[in-house]
């Protein structure tokens, strides 16, 4: 933050050297006001965090129309008010910065970056720091002076040694290993098979549609497929009806461990395959013709083409898809919560985080679960960033 004040000089020198001096001298007062307001905003966010930390924020009585809207017209009114207010404030900031008089560079920088920095400090930087600290503390919030207790690495020890949490970690591992691979393989084969066939657009849309559906709705769709009725009654779930047609007994897909986790995983594969297929399909279409032509002249056909031309050509796309689906799968929450609620040994880290934090109110354990998620994500993202850099260099 301190960096932003220094370049005022840089701005003025560049103005002097590079740009015709069409602007009249004299500082723009409006721009200065914006600059000061932005500094106040940033200071205010820090003050808010500090005051909240010491539990020293006085009770604020907001006008009720601002915080509680029960009727539809009130809600829409509030929404238009917010959007309008936002547009007006942002517009005013920009207008003042765009003055005909001289505007110091630091004011421009703050006007463009200030809102973003305030929001990220409040909503990402501070919470991440706070949660990491919390993961070394017990049940109570770490800033609660009376009840908080430092427990060191106990939370993490609990996660890795208690059987019930070992199951959670094991399940997460199963999800992360299976979903990306299967989604990738199915998506790849499908993309190759439907490439340049009749009705390609439709056959791709059918696979891709689940991406648009919320994971909650997807879970309900699949819960219905898995629906169980006692053997004597007519089945209404398709999966069990098929079992009955095959002469088997109906099966409690979501309750019988350990296979129930795999039936939840099916839902995630159902959602993610479309993504894999679309990205891979675009990559296949981008393979240069000369490569294919050359391979054909060498007598490569069918599976050989797939193995020696298609796969090596689309390797970057495969990596991106794999990393992306891995990240999404790591944080899967909606499916587990909607289908089993994490019962019957199906819980995963993201769901257990919710349970510990908002049901058990064990903030220390919840925080340590979130931190575990954080730590697993880091290498995957570092890898993704490096791949991204590579692809940019090539481009």
Partner 1 sequence: MTTSTPEMPVPEVRSQLTEEQAPRQQRKLTRAEKRAAEAKTKLTSPWATGFAIVLAVLWTIPTFGLLITSIRPQASIQSSGWWTWFTNPEFTLENYDTVWNGSTTAFSTFFVNSIIITIPSVVIPITIALLAAYAFAWIDFRGRDLLFVAVFALQIVPLQVTLIPLLNIYVDIGLAGSFWTVWLSHAIFGLPLAIFLFHNFMKDIPRSLVEAARVDGAGHVRIFFVVLMPLLVPAIAAFTVFQFLWIWNDLLVALTFAGGTPNVAPLTVRLAELSGTRGQDWHLLSAGAFIALVVPLIVFLAGQRFFVRGLLAGGVKG
Q: Which of residues 302-341 bind partner 1 (CB under 8 A)?
A: 302-303, 305-306, 320, 323-324, 327-328, 330-331, 333-334, 337-338, 341
Find the binding residues for partner 1 in span 45-84 (CB under 8 A): 48-49, 51-52, 55, 57, 59-62, 66-70, 72, 75-76, 78-79, 82-83
CA distances from 212 to 69, 80, 318, 333 (A): 29, 27, 22, 17
CA angle 109, 114, 116 (to 5 degrees): 120
Among 325, 302, 67, 64, which Cα is nearest to 182's?
325
Q: Rounded to the nearest whole angstrom, what is the least distance from the CB of residue 161 to partner 1 in the complex?
A: 22
Please list, in sequence order, all residues whose beta carbon lies within 8 angstroms of the beta carbon of residue 143, skipping any fewer than 6 positions away: 53, 54, 55, 130
Is residue 359 involved in binding partner 1 (CB under 8 A)? no
Per DSSP, what are the bridge partners of residue 137?
150
As given in the structure block, the two tokens for residue 150 are 């430092």
> Which listed range, 145-153, 157-165, 168-176, 206-214, lies at the site for partner 1 (CB under 8 A)?
206-214
Size of the site for partner 1 (CB under 8 A): 155
DSSP symbol at 4 = G
Q: Rounded to the nearest whole angstrom, what is the least distance from the CB of residue 366 to partner 1 in the complex?
A: 7
Ramachandran quadrant class, 270 (left: phi over 0; alpha: psi -120 to 50; beta: rest)? alpha
Q: Rounded to the nearest whole angstrom, what is the least distance from the CB of residue 109 to partner 1 in the complex?
A: 5
Among 89, 92, 97, which Cα is nearest to 31's?
97
Find the binding residues for partner 1 in span 219-238 (CB under 8 A): 219-225, 227, 234-238
Is residue 199 involved in binding partner 1 (CB under 8 A)? yes
In the list 44, 166, 358, 389, the residue contacting partner 1 (rule: CB under 8 A) is 358
Measured CA to CA, the distance from residue 370 to residue 360 in angstroms comes to 15
Instruction: Decide if 232 contacts 249 (C-beta within 8 A).
Output: no
> Which listed range, 11-19, 150-158, 176-184, 255-263, lies at the site for partner 1 (CB under 8 A)?
11-19
> Which listed range, 34-42, 157-165, 167-175, 184-192, lies at the site for partner 1 (CB under 8 A)?
184-192
Is residue 386 involved in binding partner 1 (CB under 8 A)? no
In the list 258, 381, 390, 391, the residue contacting partner 1 (rule: CB under 8 A) is 381
Over the range 204-214, which residues count as b (16 or more CB within 10 Å of their CB) and which as e? beebbebeeee
Q: Rounded to the nearest whole angstrom, what is the least distance from the CB of residue 180 to partner 1 in the complex?
A: 11
Instruction: Decide if 354 contacts 373 (C-beta within 8 A).
Output: no
> Which listed range, 97-105, 152-160, 161-169, 256-264, lies at the site for partner 1 (CB under 8 A)?
97-105
Q: 140-179 mask for partner 1 (x: CB under 8 A)?
A: -x--------------------------------------
Look-up: residue for tokens 């297929």?
277
Find the binding residues for partner 1 in span 253-312 (CB under 8 A): 270, 273-275, 278-279, 281-282, 285-286, 289, 292, 296, 301-303, 305-306
Percent of the chain as helix, strand, coil, to the nearest 5: 70, 0, 25
């Amino acid at each position: 933050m301190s960096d932003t004040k220094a370049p005022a000089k840089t701005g003025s020198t560049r103005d002097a050297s590079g740009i015709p001096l069409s602007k009249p001298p004299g500082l723009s007062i409006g721009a200065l006001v914006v600059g000061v307001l932005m500094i106040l905003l940033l200071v205010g966010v820090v003050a808010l965090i500090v005051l909240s930390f010491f539990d020293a924020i006085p009770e604020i009585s907001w006008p009720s129309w601002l915080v509680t809207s029960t009727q539809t017209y009130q809600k829409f009114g509030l929404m238009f008010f917010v959007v309008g207010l936002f547009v007006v404030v942002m517009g005013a900031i920009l207008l003042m910065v765009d003055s005909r008089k001289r505007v110091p560079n630091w004011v421009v920088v703050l006007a463009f970056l200030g809102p973003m920095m305030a929001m990220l400090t409040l909503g990402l930087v501070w919470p991440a720091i706070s949660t990491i600290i919390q993961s070394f503390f017990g049940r109570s919030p770490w800033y609660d002076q009376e009840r908080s207790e430092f427990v060191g690495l106990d939370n993490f020890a609990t996660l890795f040694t208690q059987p019930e949490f070992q199951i959670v970690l094991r399940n997460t591992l199963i999800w992360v290993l299976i979903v990306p691979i299967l989604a990738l393989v199915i998506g790849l084969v499908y993309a190759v098979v439907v490439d340049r066939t009749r009705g390609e657009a439709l056959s791709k849309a059918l696979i891709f549609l689940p991406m648009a559906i919320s994971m909650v709705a997807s879970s309900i769709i699949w819960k219905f497929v898995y629906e169980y009725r006692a053997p004597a009654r007519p089945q209404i779930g398709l999966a069990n009806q098929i079992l009955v047609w095959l002469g088997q007994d109906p099966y409690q897909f979501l309750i019988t461990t350990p296979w129930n986790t795999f039936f939840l995983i099916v839902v995630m594969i159902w959602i993610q395959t479309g993504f894999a297929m679309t990205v891979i399909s675009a990559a296949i279409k981008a393979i240069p013709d000369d490569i294919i032509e050359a391979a054909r002249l060498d007598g490569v056909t069918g599976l050989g083409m797939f193995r020696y031309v298609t796969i090596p050509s689309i390797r970057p796309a495969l990596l991106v898809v794999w990393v992306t689906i891995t990240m999404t799968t790591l944080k899967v929450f909606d499916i587990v919560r909607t289908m089993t609620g994490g019962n019957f040994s199906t819980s995963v880290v993201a769901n257990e985080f919710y349970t510990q934090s908002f049901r058990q109110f064990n903030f220390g354990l919840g925080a340590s679960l979130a931190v575990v998620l954080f730590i697993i994500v880091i290498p995957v993202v570092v890898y993704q960033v490096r791949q991204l850099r590579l692809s940019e260099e090539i481009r």
